């Protein structure tokens, strides 16, 4: 049976257009790993935290449409961290967990399946080429603890992407992020140094990590994912 994946998140997930190209969100590329019948409904929006996503009725829009057997992927943290902005900030072991539980409850009220996904690691290397530790503070751990408490699967993209960045290194990992020299893209003639947002190659890479973790979860989660290349036969 076809299922819909509702994806709630921030700019690392969100749909982009030609005017922000080559920036690409994970939600744009995840469908490449899914069996053809399944559809990604990408509700992610740049700059949103769990708080602002709820306050702007974006979760309410999902609540109005999600149905039994669908999935709700929940990936927040980058903007919940912004203590200087009361419209977005949520303490990791306070409102952040409370808001995540609200997302989970929306899914479960419709007999849909919530999945928590920790934030993509920031690509921050020091002058010695060593990846800076703990770029998201307590937020990934707070999400994992809530998932364990509420029996919700957690895909730890933060840790998976951290390990990949270490293995790949400073220079080679730039190809995944909006970090490039002048003259490469028409929308950014002066180049860009952005170690949070992704290019297409990065969105594809990290969506693939999520797909592999869904396979490992097994059952209804693994059933979403392609296991071999489709043929014309």
Q: Which residues are catalytic?
A: 11, 190, 197
CA distance 135 to 195: 11
CA distance 226 to 209: 13
Q: Residues 6 or more apart from 173 whose CB is under 8 A from it? A: 123, 164, 165
Q: How far apart are the first and last CA of the chain?
A: 22
CA distance 23 to 41: 19
Query: Which tokens belong to 99?
Result: 């808001």
Q: Pairing mode, if any, of strands 192-198 and 177-180?
A: antiparallel
Is the distance from CB of 165 to CB of 121 less than 8 angstroms? yes
């Amino acid at each position: 049976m076809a299922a819909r994946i509702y994806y709630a998140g921030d700019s690392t997930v969100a749909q982009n257009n030609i005017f922000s190209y080559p920036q690409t969100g994970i939600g744009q590329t995840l469908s490449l790993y899914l069996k053809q019948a399944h559809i990604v409904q990408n509700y992610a929006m740049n700059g949103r935290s769990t708080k602002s996503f709820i306050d702007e009725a974006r979760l309410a829009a999902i609540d109005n449409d999600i149905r039994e057997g669908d999935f709700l992927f929940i990936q927040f943290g980058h903007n919940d961290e912004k203590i200087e902005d009361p419209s977005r900030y949520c303490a990791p072991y306070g409102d952040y967990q409370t808001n995540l539980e609200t997302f989970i409850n929306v899914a479960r009220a419709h007999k849909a399946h919530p999945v928590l996904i920790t934030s993509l690691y920031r690509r921050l290397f020091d002058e010695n080429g060593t990846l800076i530790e703990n770029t998201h503070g307590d937020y990934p751990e707070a999400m994992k603890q809530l998932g364990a408490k509420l029996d919700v699967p957690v895909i730890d993209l933060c840790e998976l992407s951290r390990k990949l960045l270490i293995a790949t290194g400073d220079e080679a990992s730039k190809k995944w992020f909006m970090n490039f020299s002048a003259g490469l893209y028409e929308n950014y003639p002066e180049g860009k140094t952005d170690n949070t947002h992704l290019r297409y190659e990065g969105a594809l890479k990290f969506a693939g990590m999520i797909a592999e973790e869904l396979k490992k979860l097994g059952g209804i989660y693994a059933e979403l994912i392609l296991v071999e290349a489709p043929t014309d036969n």
